[in-house]
Structure 1
Amino acid sequence: MIIAEKKNYSYQHDYQPKIKVKKGRKIKVRLLLSVFVVFVLGLSVLFRYVYIVESKYQLENMKRELSRIDKENQLLKVKLAELKSLDRIEKIAKSKLGMIEPGVNNFVFIRVPEYSVTSEQGRNTGDIDKGLNKPEDKSNSSGILSALIKIKTLFD
């Protein structure tokens, strides 16, 4: 008997199953969508940092402007103090306005009523103590007013 040679047949095929088009499309769409989402998130973070940097620049500009205004304010306060100086006012009064310092004969005395306007107002409002609104007796009056009246009588 003749024995036939056994041949080894290989049943391996070069056949590869086709990847379904729908699955491949879904994967591509998901990949594109995730890339788009990452891109949008990256842009939002970038714009946020741009906004922060711009705000810092504005803050620095405002600080510089505030510093400048403070310096200007200090200069204006110094200038105001110079303009309010009594020596300067006296100098202008004497040179430009022709004013002179009063002498002994340049005082003018006026008569003051025996009671003040405030006591007259108190009389109209009906104070409880009517004695407060009465004019004082000349013999009991003291103070600057009486001294001025006495000095005026000396010059009359």
Structure 2
Amino acid sequence: MLVAQEQEYLVTQEDWQEVERQTRQNTQPRPKKRAKPKNRVKPIITLLLVFSMACLVVVRYAKISENHQKILEMEANLKKSYSVQDALKVELAEGGDLNNIEKVAKENLGMNYPAKGQIQIVQLPDNKQVSNKNSAGSNANRQHSIKDVFTRIISFLD
């Protein structure tokens, strides 16, 4: 059998220090590269933009919901108004019946048809005659007022 020969390595102090230095350089962690400001700003701006858009959507949805609620309230008020209007129309129709009016006048107000002595006939002038008299009177008043204006102007100048 062969026995391996042991060889002795002669290593000097300087050689050993050089080997240690090389291993330290290889095993030392490399300094991390700092991210460039451009690379930091871009994600932040994107994040802010997304957040602002989300806030805008939420605010607009709240406004739409609020307006929808107002519309529902207005529709309810409109339905109530229509029902009140219908009730008033029915009441008016009941009061507009001539037989009903006569009944209320006789029973509640104590009114009856007039007797023969209570009726008087009055003769009214024709509308044409009345309008002609009014227009003639107004023309005379106009002429009189124009004369008054001119006399006042002349007296003011003197």
Q: TM-score range by the shorter chain?
A: 0.5 to 0.7
- The equivalent of 2:34 in structure 1 is 21
Structure 2, unmatched stretches of 5+, are 1-21, 137-158
Q: CA deviation at 1:37?
A: 2.0
- The equivalent of 2:15 in structure 1 is none
Cα shift readout 1:69-113 (whole Å, capped 9, x = no counterpart): 11111111111222333222211221222222245x356343526
Work out the percentage of aligned pairs sharing the same amino acid: 28
Question: Rg larger in 1 or in 2?
Answer: 2
SS state of the match for residue 26, structure 2?
Answer: coil
Kindly tell me the number of residue pairs found equivalent between the two proteins.
114
| 2:127 equivalent to 1:120 | no
Whole-Å separation in 2 of the counterparts to 1:63 and 1:40: 35
TM-score normalized by the length of structure 1: 0.57
- Pick aligned residue for 2:66 from 51, 54, 57: 54
SS state of the match for residue 51, structure 2?
Answer: helix
Q: CA-atom RMSD, angstroms?
A: 3.1
Whole-Å separation in 2 of the counterparts to 1:41 and 1:111: 84
Structure 1, unmatched stretches of 5+, are 1-9, 127-156
Q: CA deviation at 1:44?
A: 0.8
In the TM superposition, 1:75-90 aligns within 5 A as 75-90=87-102
| 2:88 equivalent to 1:63 | no
- Pick aligned residue for 2:105 from 93, 102, 123: 93
Structure showing greater relative contact order (alpha-carbon pairs closer than 8 Å, 6 or more residues apart): 1
TM-score normalized by the length of structure 2: 0.56
